[in-house]
Amino acid sequence: MLELLAYLHDSELVARFQRRCGLFLVEAAHQSRDRTRAPAATPVHSDGPRGQVKGKWDHQDKNSNYEYKENGHTVSGCSTPQYEVRNWLLHFLFLVSAGLGHEIFYITCLPCIHWSLDPFLCRRLVNMWTLVMYIGQVMKDVLKLPRPLSPPVVKLETRVDAEYGLPSTHAMAATAISFTVLLSAQSRFQFQFEVGLLIALTVSSLVCLSRLYTGMHSVLDVICGALISAVLLLITYPYWETFDHFQLRSLISPLVGFSLPLFLSYTYPELDHYSTTRGDTTTILGVAAGCSVGYWVDEQLGQTFEPQGALPVPLPALTAAAVARSVARFLVGGVALVGTRQVVKTLSLQVLYSWYRVPKSDDSARRRREIEVPYKFVTYTAVGLVNSILVNRFFVLLGLL
């Protein structure tokens, strides 16, 4: 069993998958006997300091490494991985799939389920997403298993390289989101369960495979992430209705919905070096707190914006008018959430920098717990409140519902 676990956690297994998909380290490409060198006029790509892809017409034999000091400890990683892409279709497919686990997806596409489909489904999604992500992030920082090594692996996302690897929270979130929608939508909409199951399996599988392609997780990380999420779904599924009733109707629901995520944010496990896990977890918990309070408020006001008619209702028809309204809701809602995020983030940082007497030019100060946790929690609690309470009311005023 230990040998199997070691094999599944091996970096070379990830590198072989990348090569099968057409992604090569330049150094590995030079040493390959089958198509040893890239043909003339074949670009080699480098991730710049902000993650953008840049074309180059030469080769470099080694990755450029970086080191920096954080809390007295040296953190190192790969800043400009040199690689070449030989299958652009898979490259873009896996990059898009990996994006389904990033903040830009959560802050735009997930709320669209609330705005254009069913707030009930969005509420279930936020609850399960928060649970699996919190457990996954904590497990990473408790188990402290490293990510794949580069070389031999090409790492395409250097922002999270300081995080630990097991389990893959992308795999956990993709599994939880896909199957929470599938299980919850049965009682709300008329659709073929087999088609929904195929879509859920496809989406979750693509996200899982994207974590191997981007070089950020081992096979063991991905398998464990998907399995842990599946177990959590099985354990919690019988209690979803009970939790719905508590969240929407209990008088202590707003207090629990706000104070529990705040407590979990401040008690997040400390590491001996800085990583993005605490901040990302606080972001998720803040969204959950804001949405939970917002759903309770909507229920008390009797304005839940749910589908009208006897359930399950037919899926909305994809007419030109319906698509246009959905696009308009996406644009208005996206501006509202992003605008809320920017305003509250700026104000909260100004208050905290002033309170702790930190120079406003010191961007590294926001990594300190006494600044990072409150500013992220307040910011994303506000985002959750705006999403769950105000945005649909904007749509009513604008005639978009």
> What's the rounded Cα separation, in Å, for the pair 225 and 210?
13
Tell me 89's DSSP state.
H
Residue 263 has phi, psi (to 5 degrees) of -60, -45
Q: Distance between alpha carbon 166 and the CA centroid of its chain, in Å?
A: 15
Q: Give the list of residues 6+ apart from residue 371 with CB closer than 8 angstroms, or none.
A: 349, 352, 353, 356, 358, 365
Closest among 255, 64, 51, 240 to 158, alpha carbons compared:
51
Amino acid at 74: T
Q: Give the list of residues 6+ apart from residue 296 with CB closer than 8 angstroms, or none.
A: 247, 248, 253, 254, 257
The two structure tokens encoding residue 310: 């006897």
pLDDT at 69: 38
pLDDT at 81: 59
Helix, strand, coil % in the chain, rounded to nearest 5:
65, 10, 30
Q: Would you tell me how many other CB atoms lie within 10 Å of the CB of residue 399? A: 8
pLDDT at 315: 83
pLDDT < 70 positions in the chain = 27-81
The two structure tokens encoding residue 271: 């590491």
Catalytic-role residue among 9, 59, 217, 245: 217
Catalytic-role residue among 59, 91, 170, 245: 170
Closest among 178, 337, 369, 192 to 269, alpha carbons compared:
369
Closest among 283, 249, 309, 295 to 392, alpha carbons compared:
295
Global confidence as pTM: 0.82
Beta-sheet strand order (sheet of 44-47): 23-25, 82-85, 44-47, 53-56
> Is 217 noted as a catalytic residue in this protein?
yes
Domain boundaries in the chain?
Answer: 22-86, 250-306+317-401
> What's the rounded Cα separation, in Å, for the pair 188 and 174?
21
Contact indicator for 288, 243 with CB cutoff of 8 Å = no
Classify burial at 312, counting beta carbons within 10 Å of its beta carbon; exposed 0-12, middle 13-18, buried 19 or more.
middle
Provide the strand spans (E) within 112-247: 189-190
Contact indicator for 147, 170 with CB cutoff of 8 Å = no
> How do beta strands 73-80 and 53-56 pair?
unpaired
Q: What pLDDT digit, counting tens, does each position of 182-239 carry?
A: 999 988 888 899 999 999 999 999 999 999 999 999 999 999 999 999 999 999 999 9
> How do beta strands 82-85 and 189-190 pair?
unpaired
Contact indicator for 10, 16 with CB cutoff of 8 Å = no
Classify burial at 260, counting beta carbons within 10 Å of its beta carbon; exposed 0-12, middle 13-18, buried 19 or more.
middle
Taken in order 320, 383, 346, 362, the sign of the CA dihedral is negative
Beta bridge partners of 76: 67
